[in-house]
Amino acid sequence: MEILASPATPKYECLLFDMDDTLYPMSLGLNSSCRKNIEEFMLTYLKIDECQVPDMCLDLYREHGTTMAGLKALGYEFDNDAFHGFVHGTLPYHLLKPDLVLRNLLLSMPQRKIIFTNADQAHAAQVLRRMCLEDCFQGVICFETLNTDQQPNLVENHHARIISSPTRIVCKPALESFQTATIIANLDPKKTIFFDDSVRNIATAKAAGFHTVIVGRSSVVAGADHALNSIHNMREALPQVWEDVYEGEQLLVQSTAVETVVNA
């Protein structure tokens, strides 16, 4: 005799995490150090007037998602790797310590876990390594994976190289970035929870169909389903994540052998 039952569809299949100021608190100061380095890059390499740099840096961040994306949209030409190397090269990474509490939480979650960051691959690797989290995620979606073709559109004009159109950077909070991440990671937004400290990223994620959690706040914001003061509070705030991937256990019994298989 054989008894078969189809397992129920899991409620959540994937957990999508922002990295900076989400996996670790903003109070560590990496964010402010990063902004200072961006301003220094604008001043030193792009020769932007010193009195314009701070406001311009912030305005471009607000309008385009990242200051880098805004600079490219304005037509500034610079090497992406050089920019990232300058901006992240002197960050106080030593402030990031192994987070064994977060590590154990992540490893106990049955769903697939992916990083979704606007930062470059080298920075993501540095952060995850220093926090001892590199093996807690099944993938990293970052600047390079969101922007696979970043060669400027150049037109030869005698001996001059002229940018015929500004370079467009794909990054959060643009809806396109979430759509691209969905394709890259082969995930279903309706079965994915997105964690981020940014209010605008949360709003776009909700518009894209994700379940959303705002991190670093005690109350929900527009578009957020849940709020966490700290990423360490996940188990208390989201117990459903630790529920069995399948609702109920289904028993399979075959009369031809003394064997019991449980699909759970």
* pLDDT score, position 155: 37
List pLDDT tens digits, range 233-261. Answer: 999 999 999 985 545 444 333 333 333 23
DSSP state of 40: H
Given pLDDT bands bounded at 50, 70 and 90, which one contains residue 228? very high
* pLDDT score, position 244: 53
Average pLDDT of the residues in 180-189:
97
Structure tokens that stand for 116 in this block: 């979704």
* pLDDT score, position 84: 98
Q: In what order do the strands lie in the sheet with 2-3?
A: 2-3, 250-254, 260-263
List pLDDT tens digits, range 120-168. Answer: 999 999 999 999 999 999 999 999 999 987 544 433 333 333 344 578 9
Average pLDDT of the residues in 159-181:
78
Cis peptide bond upstream of 173, omega within 30: yes
Average pLDDT of the residues in 206-216:
98
Place of tokens 């807690």: 136
Higher pLDDT, 154 or 177: 177
CB atoms within 10 A of CB 138: 13
Higher pLDDT, 156 or 184: 184
